[in-house]
Structure 1
Amino acid sequence: MTRHLITGAGSGIGAAIADVLHERGDQLLLLARSEERAAELASRYDGSSTLVADLADPASVAALEVPDALDTLLHVAGVVDLAPVAELSAEDLREQVDVNLVAPVLLTQICLPALRRARGLVVFVNSSAGLVASPTWAAYASSKFGLRAVADALRAEEQEHGVRVTTVFPSRTATPMQEKVHEQEGRVYDSTQWLRPETVADTIRHVIDLTPGATIPEVTVRPLAPRPGT
């Protein structure tokens, strides 16, 4: 049975891909930030297993133990707080870098032996902000630019072990995070203007289901309609 470790399965894109994989009978190992959240995920995804770690705490991530074999590691969790560079606090910068960049690196290190054994796949769900940084997005974009660099290096390093690495760059997606972003931007949130989480999840599923021997290093997903105001 195919086994996937997923971060961020509680909502948004993470929940959408967890739904897809669970419905078809794959085995899920879901990372939660608390025991309470882990219980919620275990209840939602019957038959799944859970791990508990705070992605904002590198020591918490480093202490995790994972199975001996793992087919897919899906880095979906992330945090965002907007601020211009002139007003960016060290605490907000640190949290976004820790959750969006440091935690994926540490978790990947822990999972590599299992992924090598299964000749598995690492999927980094990045962002269009990992390609272009806009005003007030410096902290988040920095963490995502860094994540792209990690993926590129890892892809080259792990090719000899048969581990594939894919970065997915979704544009703005209708998730609770996007709602928070709109609030910070002082804009009215209309979920119909943005990508559906299920659309991004379908792209990830396609990457997971590629024929052995094939790989998609990067894929960008954008809505067909242009962004309002552009």
Structure 2
Amino acid sequence: MSAPRRSVLVTGGTRGIGREVVRLLAPSWRVLVGGRSEAAVAAVVAECPDAAGFVCDLADEDAVASTVAELELGASGLDAVVHSAGVVGHGSVEDTTRSDWRHVLELNVVAVSDLTRLLLPALRSAGGTVVVVNSGSGFNAGANGAVYAASKFAVRAWADSLRAEERGWVRVSSVHPGRVDTDMQRELQAAEGREYDPSIAMEVTSVARAIVFALEAPADAAVESLSIRPTSA
């Protein structure tokens, strides 16, 4: 009898880095595909040999709690969660409103923490792994990037704390990509006032493979922090 598939929840699993992580894991993992659009999630699930949807707005506290409560994880718990969902923020401090701050921090920090909190019992049961898709902006902040960088600095600190609290129970990895050829990168370059140039960005597969590497590290090892930069920039 073959061993049961490991299970992973991938937020933002219908596009960009998250979608590519789902594609790479699908042959050997049971994948819970996270997204806000039921149709988009269903389309990705249909392409996987063993998958289910995790459809909710991560900014909606009640919706997240009820969706987690409805998960059928079995006795083995949940082997991993990949936090790939997030939003970009761009603009000067002078032009960034309180609403802008709340929106970015809610999705990039608060939602990550709250979902993980709800999943911790299952992750502990499995000796699981939490992977946070952070950013190069989690280490450096430049002009017009305060709100986004602040969210990424914050979620890096959160991951550091979680790692210290859960050491020996749950592995915690922070993955920090530079520019990646995604819709978010197109949005960012447009906000910077430039035509889109994919040559300065990495392919999503390059980052997704790094995330899979962190997930599939041997049980006696943890990839705690990983920075991935384009070779062209």
TM over 0.5, shorter chain: yes
- Report what 1:19 is aligned to: 23
Alignment partner, residue 212 of structure 2: 205
Residue identity opposite 1:218 in structure 2:
S
Partner of 2:34: 31
TM-score under structure 2 normalisation? 0.92
Could you tell me which residue of structure 2 aligns to residue 107 of structure 1?
A: 115
After TM superposition, give the deviation of residue 38 of structure 1 in Å: 2.5
Q: CA offset at residue 207 of structure 1? A: 1.0
Deviation of the 1:42 alpha carbon: 2.1
Q: The residue matched to 2:130 in structure 1 has which SS?
A: strand
Whole-Å separation in 1 of the counterparts to 2:85 and 2:223:
21
Contact 1:172/1:178, CA 8 A, preserved across alignment: yes
Pick aligned residue for 1:10 from 11, 14, 34 = 14
Cα RMSD after superposing both structures = 1.3
Letter in 2 for 1:140: Y
**Residue 135 of structure 2 contacts residue 177 of structure 2 at CA under 8 Å; is this kept in 1?**
yes
Say how many residue pairs are matched: 224
How many angstroms does 1:99 deviate by?
A: 0.7
Of 47, 50, 53, which aligns to 2:50?
47
Give the aligned partner of residue 61 of structure 2.
58
State yes or no: 1:222 paired with 2:229.
yes
Report % sequence identity.
Answer: 37
Query: 1:129 maps to which residue?
Result: 137
- Tell me the SS of whatever aligns to 1:114: helix
Q: Residues 78-137 of structure 1: CA distance to partner in whole angstroms, max 9, x if unpaired?
A: 101211110102222111111110111011011101100000100000000111111111
1:179 aligns with 2:183: no
- More displaced, 71-80 or 85-94? 85-94
Q: Partner of 1:164 in structure 2?
A: 171
Any conservation in 2 of the 1:58–1:98 contact (CA below 8 Å)? no
Any gaps of 5 or more consecutive residues in structure 2? none
